[in-house]
Amino acid sequence: MGIIVQKFGGTSVGSVERILNVANRVIAEVEAGNQVVVVVSAMGKTTDELVRLAGEITSNPSKREMDMLLTTGEQVTISLLSLAIGQKGYEAVSYTGWQAGIQTEAVHSNARITNIDTTKVKQRLEEGKIVVVAGFQGATVDGEITTLGRGGSDTTAVALAAALKADKCDIYTDVTGVFTTDPRYLKSARKLHSVSYDEMLELANLGAGVLHPRAVEFAKNYSMPLEVRSSMEAEHGTIIEEEVSMEKNLVVRGIAFEDQVTRVTVCGLPNGLHTLSTIFTTLAGNGLNVDIIIQSTTNVDTTNISFSVKTADLDETVRVLEENREALNFENIEHEDGLAKVSIVGSGMISNPGVAAEMFQVLANNEIQVKMVSTSEIKVSTVVEQASMVKAVEALHDAFELSVEEKQEVKA
């Protein structure tokens, strides 16, 4: 008998009918001889509705009170799922995040898990019960309720699996696995049998919404195998693990993309040793994340620095820079919106030179201008016009033959 942690997202538990379906999935795992812990999100659009209600009262709500409000969504789901499991003749017990022993740092709305006391959960498992845990939430050492931010239920599931030394963590969602690119945009996208932690982490950070990066980081740090699979269809999904079955000759494993990107250029900065650290320390200190960075020296004394941000962060980015104009000593700020980021990812790039060159050639052949570039050992990211985003994805997907069914698999 092993321990399996299952996570079901908001779409998977979006109605009573779907909750009953989840109950059947959970019971099937128990009947296979496993002890099961289930982590669930709030039903459907519940969280969005709670945020809307708060917005009708105030435009600047307290983060503490928002955590109190939003954690109620998952509590509804754990109760209903436990009732559904009980109705089918199996014992289930529901726990909020803090009841399940999930301790977090003292940060509201985006806390990180610091410790999990699994005593209570293990006790219930030993009693033969199914444990249903609310995702996305925990509590500080002082008992303050916190939420884990976007993708928090994924993180809860993986963290619990690691703490319990589970055999596996299954992430059930509304897709059947991890695809070579988003199948909603490209019908020829193909489900991958397996992906490495590093590849999945890059894909998640670059816009693939199937898993949150923090959950992948947890899985990698604790060598916890994940499987992304469908909550509605009975088929195998995509295994995410350290050593994967590599597809023969497949250098690029997937293409990620995201829109609503803006390039910001800070012009006329002093060309000194501390210019880069000063500007990005200032932005980071205000909670602003930047992505691709390019520095171009205009003359001996001055330099321009360009970087990409999410378009939603543009106004705040400009405000912070302007407030620190005297300290940063720049001349002016320019920005270009209407951009998107398109990235290719694959651990095969490490041993195959020329992949970036091929990517640029494909984009050039399709008359797609590259405005910014960023690379790592296993990814190449480009910023292009948003209007060309899907065209770029299609062209790259074809060029790297990602639609072709897997060839003979060999162990990496």
For 191: left if phi > 0, alpha if psi spans -120 to 50, otherwise beta; the answer is: beta
Residue 306: beta bridge partners?
A: 265, 294
Burial class of residue 185, CB neighbours in 10 A (0-12, 13-18, 19+): middle
pLDDT digits (tens, 9 = 90+) for 10-50: 999 999 999 999 999 999 999 999 999 999 999 999 999 99
CA dihedral 127, 129, 130, 131 (to 10 degrees): -70
pLDDT at residue number 36: 98
What confidence score (pLDDT) does residue 410 get?
39
CATH 3.40.1160.10 region(s) of the chain?
A: 3-174
Whole-number pLDDT of residue 275: 86
What pLDDT is recorded for position 24?
96
**For the chain, counts of helices (H) and of strands (E):** 12, 20
Q: How many CA atoms lie within 13 A of 166 on its CB side?
A: 28
CATH code for the structural domain at 3-174: 3.40.1160.10
Q: Which pLDDT does position 249 carry in this prediction?
A: 56
| pLDDT recorded at residue 211 | 87
User: Among candidates 318, 198, 209, 342, which has minimal Cα distance to 266?
Assistant: 318
CATH class of segment(s) 244-412: alpha beta
Below-70 pLDDT ranges, the chain: 244-249, 405-412
Domain with CATH 3.30.2130.10 in the chain: 244-412
How far is residue 135's CA from residue 151's CA, in Å, rounded to a whole number?
Answer: 9
* Span 221-241, pLDDT tens digits: 999 999 999 988 888 999 998
